[in-house]
Chains A and B, each alone.
Chain A
Amino acid sequence: MRLKGIVQLVAIGVVIAVALTLTAVLLQWLPTSASEEFDRIQGVYWFATVISICIFSLVTAVVIFSVWKWRVPDDDDADGPPIHGHTGLEILWTAVPAVLVTAIGIVSAVVLARNGEAGNRPLEVQAIGQQFAWKFVYSDYDDLASGELVLPVGREARFTMTSVDVIHSFWVPNFGQKMDAVPGIETTILVTPKRTGEFAVVCAELCGLGHATMRAKARVVTQQEFDAWLREKAA
């Protein structure tokens, strides 16, 4: 009887976990990664997802199992057993989550540090937000200014951001990196594009009436195409 109950409980938990795992894997929850930084972020995401599925399945399984097993009719007037607690269990469910979140914390801190390490001579790009458009200035190339963001593939770019009016937020969903452009201060973020293509630059911080339309195009191209684009722009 006891064993049967445990088997049933585990079965419920496994069914939930499998259903969730399928949902997590079969649906495309994340945009295609176009940067090395986002690859690492996606690693943390999957690590957290595995832990989350386990915890959610455990709690839900116990709730469903208990209700199914020990539900009584409305007119039942007996009480359950007077169990006030169990020190061992309480220590266990304090310690295990502490270990799990510490693990997530360590993985996150490592990824954060790696995503913040600028390599040798990154491409310097200033991103300037203004209601409701972006301006990108290439400081390495005579402060060439452009409304379109063009980056060479495989070369690390360091964005230095500021704003001339209110707070905006520079975000390319496929790069996975995001940072506010704040008036009065400069903020930075690194992106190493790893895939050519066209992506959207989205303003992610409410900046006023045109916030939803504050978008720009980001193009990741080969180094040759990038050089050609620079020459064409400079001309």
Chain B
Amino acid sequence: MAAGEGGVTATHEPAVDTYPAHFEPQPGPTRRLLFGPGLVRGGWMALLFFGLGTLLVCALRWWWSWEPVWNTEVVLAVAAMTLAPIGFLAGIGSFDYWLHYVSGRPTRPEDHSGHGATSWRDYFRVNTDHKVIGIQYLVTTFFFFTVGGLMAMFFRAELAQPGLQFVDSQTFNGLVSVHATLMIFLFIIPAFAGIANFAVPLMLGAPDMAFPRLNALSFWLLPIAGVMFVASFLAPGGAFGAGWTGYAPLAEGQPLGQTFFNMGVQWAGASSIMTALNFLVTIITMRAPGMTFWRMPLLVWANFTTSLLVVIATPFIAGSQFFVMFDRILHTSFFTPDNGGYVLGYQHIFWFYSHPAVYIMMLPGFGIVSEVISTMSRKPVFGYRLMALSLIGILVLGFSVWAHHMFVAGMADWLRVPMMITTLLIAVPTGIKIFSWTATLWRGRIHLNTPMLFALGFVTMFVIGGLSGIYLGSVPIDIAASDTYFIVAHIHYVLFGGSVFTIFAGIYYWFPKMTGRMYDERLGKWHFWLTFVSFNLTFFPMHYVGLRGMPRRVFDYDEAFGDVNFVITAASFVLGASFVVFVYNMSTSWVRGPAAGSNPWRAHTLEWQVSSPPPIFNFDEIPQVVAGPYEYGVPGARHAVMSPAREAEQVHA
């Protein structure tokens, strides 16, 4: 097991050469490029499957004499959005192992050649290493974050003054809808999955996730969904413009672009569900000896509860979007009132997912913040068990509040007060978490570095989002404030001041572990303060215009709101610019930052006890967990017994 000269990845020799040479003949380079798993085969197989799908649709329509034989929407739904992605996935090699198995051919013995990354090319193939997949997730999600952010700045420019300036109203509705969809399905949810993918197996003392091939597949579903959402702008009639909520019956009368939303959500949702199952099995079965549930770091707890939410809730949004698509294409009438459909049914099914989705987008952030605040305050998390239990409280209550999105929707009156009570009660476990974080700070030895700044920024901003949530939980106030910019302000305080701040905290916190290098602290602080100030200038005034009477999702508004909207737009551009600082810091530090060492924060959790970046299979020896993860200040306390980390060879200071 001698380490190679060039890379950390050479610690385990591939076991390939223990098999006879004739086992599988080595093809030539051209053959390998065309027919070996990879993006090239992914490309032509996607085209091939698209062609097959088109033929299938047209042949069936011709057979049953349905006029016209060519129906663009059906061809798109079947060939472009169902079969072509499957072809792509098969082409890049997601199914190779399984196909060998089901077709009775000898399966390739696991040679771990899909593990680790020695060059940037390894990030562009099906890789089964949870650390590589974590980074694939993060880079992909930040790409879509950039796209979604540019869209936001575009429609903010439109909103700087009343009246129409730059875009027509369909484009405006499309920009707003795609912005929200990308941020939710292609950024916040999968960015957390990326961080957890990297950190959770390490924190558990496991060599990888329970199902590495499934893990790779769930990552590759994600760019498919992202491309679908963005490509909807190319559809005749423009991008889907019924909002990310896609309410029926508006969505059913939308042009072709709506189908891109219906199907994109399926791919993103499937990705979420598979990842969540993987986390559940990993956390339940792959904990190191001694790692009881009550010794798990809170990030692991957070991802455990989040995964339960995903597995239970996500099928509902898949269902709601299939129903809408069937109404559009097959002319069913789930939600069309003319044929006895029930319009409010859509909202009930949609929010039964999309309210828990708010916690899917928040609980992992709670986990990250618990890690950061405890480590940077040099104190144990205050009330560790209650912190874990409050996650479970939110999980359970989270399924009983969905109709608070429908207080003005015309649903049954009797449902409003019970839903209000459960909604308000969620403030209790959330409050426990906020107070426990502040108590963790109390008398600590506080290191105010970038991850800590973002964590504390999160705590204060999330309180604002939580409190405006109490206003909205109260039915009478919600009746006045629903569907206005107050909602826009609330959702951004929760998802930006909340989730995005925690994602930044997590990225800065684990950056040294992921790359082996240190980010630039000065730039990190600039990034924080620019983001923090411009975030508040952008979103706080939205409470005001909303309460005063500005509805959301409008390209034109009352002259009286012109000045405030101009300020909001200006601030949103600064917010966009602050992200450039982040990208610059991350990319330059990744290439040439100073070596970070294995444990720059002197944290106790397991991922910091191995080298940075960690060895291919994480642990050279299985750690023996002997105590809780946050025993700061306890003399001689250790979370686990294991030999000290060898420094990684890859990074030279």
Query: At the interface, yes or no: B247 with Cβ under 8 Å from chain A?
Result: yes
The contact size tier of chain B is 35 or more
Query: At the interface, yes or no: B7 with Cβ under 8 Å from chain A?
Result: no
Q: Is the CB of A81 within 8 A of B434?
A: no
Min CB–CB distance B490 → chain A (angstroms): 12
Q: Is the CB of B470 within 8 A of A212?
A: no
Query: At the interface, yes or no: A31 with Cβ under 8 Å from chain B?
Result: yes
B557 partner residues in chain A, CB cutoff 8 A: 212
Q: Is the CB of A59 within 8 A of B459?
A: yes
Query: At the interface, yes or no: B413 with Cβ under 8 Å from chain A?
Result: yes
A177 partner residues in chain B, CB cutoff 8 A: 479-480
B449 partner residues in chain A, CB cutoff 8 A: 74
Query: At the interface, yes or no: A142 with Cβ under 8 Å from chain B?
Result: no
Min CB–CB distance A92 → chain B (angstroms): 9
Min CB–CB distance A115 → chain B (angstroms): 6
Query: Of the 9-residue stretches A133-141, A148-156, A167-175, A219-227, which lies at the interface with chain B?
Result: A167-175
Q: Is the CB of B446 within 8 A of A70?
A: yes
Q: Is the CB of B549 within 8 A of A41?
A: no
Query: At the interface, yes or no: B634 with Cβ under 8 Å from chain A?
Result: yes
A40 to B385, CA, bound (A): 41
Q: Is the CB of B442 within 8 A of A97?
A: no
Query: Of the 9-residue stretches B59-67, B298-306, B420-428, B583-591, which lies at the interface with chain A?
Result: B420-428
Query: At the interface, yes or no: B494 with Cβ under 8 Å from chain A?
Result: no
Query: At the interface, yes or no: B69 with Cβ under 8 Å from chain A?
Result: no
Which A residue's beta carbon lies closest to that of B453? A67
B12 partner residues in chain A, CB cutoff 8 A: none
B377 partner residues in chain A, CB cutoff 8 A: 70, 80
Min CB–CB distance B342 → chain A (angstroms): 7
A63 to B440, CA, bound (A): 10
Q: Is the CB of B438 within 8 A of A66?
A: yes
Q: Is the CB of A31 within 8 A of B431?
A: no
A67 to B449, CA, bound (A): 11
A166 to B631, CA, bound (A): 58
A76 and B169 contact, Cβ closer than 8 Å, known pairs A45-B471, A82-B380, A184-B343: no
Query: At the interface, yes or no: B121 with Cβ under 8 Å from chain A?
Result: no
A176 partner residues in chain B, CB cutoff 8 A: 479-480
Query: At the interface, yes or no: B581 with Cβ under 8 Å from chain A?
Result: no
Q: Is the CB of A98 within 8 A of B169?
A: no
Q: Is the CB of B460 within 8 A of A63?
A: yes
Q: Is the CB of B427 within 8 A of A97?
A: yes
B555 partner residues in chain A, CB cutoff 8 A: 212
A94 to B432, CA, bound (A): 6
Query: At the interface, yes or no: B576 with Cβ under 8 Å from chain A?
Result: no
Query: At the interface, yes or no: A6 with Cβ under 8 Å from chain B?
Result: no
B632 partner residues in chain A, CB cutoff 8 A: 79-80, 82
Min CB–CB distance A19 → chain B (angstroms): 13
Q: How many residues from A make CB contacts under 8 Å with B?
A: 84
A187 and B441 contact, Cβ closer than 8 Å, known pairs A112-B476, A210-B169, A212-B557: no
B341 partner residues in chain A, CB cutoff 8 A: 184
What total of A-B pairs shows CB separation below 8 Å? Answer: 263
Q: Which of B242, B435, B442, B476 sits near A41, CB closer than 8 Å?
A: B476
Query: Which residues from 384 to 413 on chain B have a C-beta closer than 8 Å to any C-beta of chain A?
Result: 384-386, 408-410, 413
A84 partner residues in chain B, CB cutoff 8 A: 380, 382-384
Query: At the interface, yes or no: A213 with Cβ under 8 Å from chain B?
Result: yes
A182 to B249, CA, bound (A): 10
A202 and B459 contact, Cβ closer than 8 Å, known pairs A78-B378, A105-B424, A179-B410: no
Which A residue's beta carbon lies closest to that of B484? A204
Which A residue's beta carbon lies closest to that of B169? A209
A45 to B39, CA, bound (A): 56
Q: Is the CB of B482 within 8 A of A72?
A: no
A101 to B424, CA, bound (A): 6
B544 partner residues in chain A, CB cutoff 8 A: 27, 29
Q: Is the CB of B408 within 8 A of A208?
A: no
Which A residue's beta carbon lies closest to that of B385? A85
Query: At the interface, yes or no: A77 with Cβ under 8 Å from chain B?
Result: yes
Min CB–CB distance B578 → chain A (angstroms): 21
A81 partner residues in chain B, CB cutoff 8 A: 379, 443, 633
Query: At the interface, yes or no: B547 with Cβ under 8 Å from chain A?
Result: yes
Which B residue's beta carbon lies closest to that of A109? B417
A74 and B482 contact, Cβ closer than 8 Å, known pairs A44-B474, A55-B467: no
Query: Which residues from 611 to 653 on chain B have a C-beta closer than 8 Å to any C-beta of chain A?
Result: 631-634, 637
Query: At the interface, yes or no: A1 with Cβ under 8 Å from chain B?
Result: no
Q: Is the CB of B386 within 8 A of A62?
A: no
Among B337, B384, B476, B602, residue most surrounded by chain A Cβ atoms (within 10 Å): B476
Q: Is the CB of A72 within 8 A of B250?
A: no
Interface string of A186-216 (1 = CB under 8 A from B): 0100000000000010111111111111000
Q: Is the CB of A70 within 8 A of B408?
A: no
Query: At the interface, yes or no: B444 with Cβ under 8 Å from chain A?
Result: yes
Q: Is the CB of B410 within 8 A of A104?
A: no
Q: Is the CB of B410 within 8 A of A70?
A: no
Q: Which of A56, A78, A98, A185 sits near B428, CB closer than 8 Å?
A: A98
Query: At the interface, yes or no: B548 with Cβ under 8 Å from chain A?
Result: yes
Query: At the interface, yes or no: B483 with Cβ under 8 Å from chain A?
Result: yes
Q: Is the CB of A41 within 8 A of B480?
A: yes
Q: Is the CB of B483 within 8 A of A171?
A: yes
Q: Is the CB of B549 within 8 A of A44?
A: no
B309 partner residues in chain A, CB cutoff 8 A: none
Which A residue's beta carbon lies closest to that of B480? A176
Min CB–CB distance A216 → chain B (angstroms): 14
Min CB–CB distance A34 → chain B (angstroms): 12
Min CB–CB distance B538 → chain A (angstroms): 17
B463 partner residues in chain A, CB cutoff 8 A: 55-56, 59-60
Which B residue's beta carbon lies closest to that of A40? B476
Q: List 13 A-B contacts (CB under 8 A).
A: A55-B467, A56-B467, A66-B444, A72-B446, A81-B443, A90-B432, A115-B479, A166-B253, A171-B551, A178-B482, A204-B552, A209-B173, A211-B553
The 8 closest A-B pairs by CB, nearest first: A184-B337, A173-B549, A187-B410, A212-B554, A82-B633, A204-B483, A79-B633, A101-B424
Chain B interface (Cβ < 8 Å from any Cβ of A): 169-170, 173, 241-243, 247, 249-250, 253, 337-338, 341-344, 377-380, 382-386, 408-410, 413, 416-417, 420-421, 424-425, 427-428, 431-432, 434-436, 438-439, 441-449, 456, 459-460, 463-464, 467, 470-471, 473-477, 479-480, 482-484, 543-544, 547-549, 551-558, 602, 631-634, 637
Taking A55-B467, A70-B377, A86-B439 as given, write out 7 further A-B residue pairs in contact, using a Cβ cutoff of 8 Å, ordered by the A residue number.
A70-B445, A80-B377, A84-B383, A85-B383, A109-B475, A177-B479, A212-B169
